[in-house]
Amino acid sequence: MRVFDHFAFIAPLYARVAYSKTDMMRSVASLPVRGNLLDVGGGTGRVASAIRDLVDEVIVADVSLGMLKEAPLSTLRPVCSGSESLPFADNSFERVIMVDALHHVIDHNDTARELLRVLKPGGVLVIEEPDIRTFGVKLIAVAEKLLLMRSHFLAPDEILKLFLNGEKQVKAVDGTAWIIIKK
């Protein structure tokens, strides 16, 4: 089934929005690090660009060609792919991140399995999500439903349950949650 790509529609605007939580991402993802980082659902490379200098190479994987077209090709490597089946070998990346995208994917379980599969042993996976336990995010969830976006928000403890293995931790500040898994 073909699904309307809301993000292709807003991509030019999205590319202009700066990533404001760089310090937190730097801390929870234990950056800088020698090696490569995969940003899944990375869109226009907004987050990847902000942390580009903290790793050797950054690959941005996203299902929306419209979003990837806005990513800066001189610094990032875009790959068009759904998170449910990533085109990378097992144990490929020192860091894997997913920011503001988990609630958009079709299958949370397949996505979680793939995020962990491509992460190297000893590597860190960070999922940053709007914290659905907060009132503001509940309103956003309703708005996305009205816009017919296929959003399905999970609370941090539900996200943790997607991962059977790994050392797990949650941080939550001001309506944003970071789920951190060390493989």
Point out which residues bind ligand SAM (CB under 6 A): 7, 41-43, 46-47, 62-64, 67, 82-84, 99-101, 104-106
Q: Which is nearer to ligand SAM, 36 or 83 (CB)?
A: 83
**What are the residue ranges of helices labelled H in 57-102?**
65-68
Cβ pair 98, 116 in contact under 8 A? no
Give the shortest CB-66-to-ligand SAM separation in angstroms.
Answer: 8
The smaller minimum CB distance to ligand SAM, of residues 53 and 106, is found at 106
Residue nearest to ligand SAM (CB): 43
- DSSP at 29: T
Nearest Cα neighbor of 177 from 118, 103, 112, 116 is 103
Distance in Å, CB of 12 to ligand SAM, minimum: 13
Residues in the chain: 183
Nearer to ligand SAM, 82 or 123 (CB): 82
- Considering beta carbons, is residue 17 or 167 the nearer one to ligand SAM? 17
Closest CB 163 distance from ligand SAM, rounded Å: 17
What distances in angstroms separate CA 30 from CA 15, 20, 56, 85, 101, one per listed residue? 25, 17, 14, 26, 21
Give SS3 for 169: strand
CB of 23 to ligand SAM, least distance (A): 16
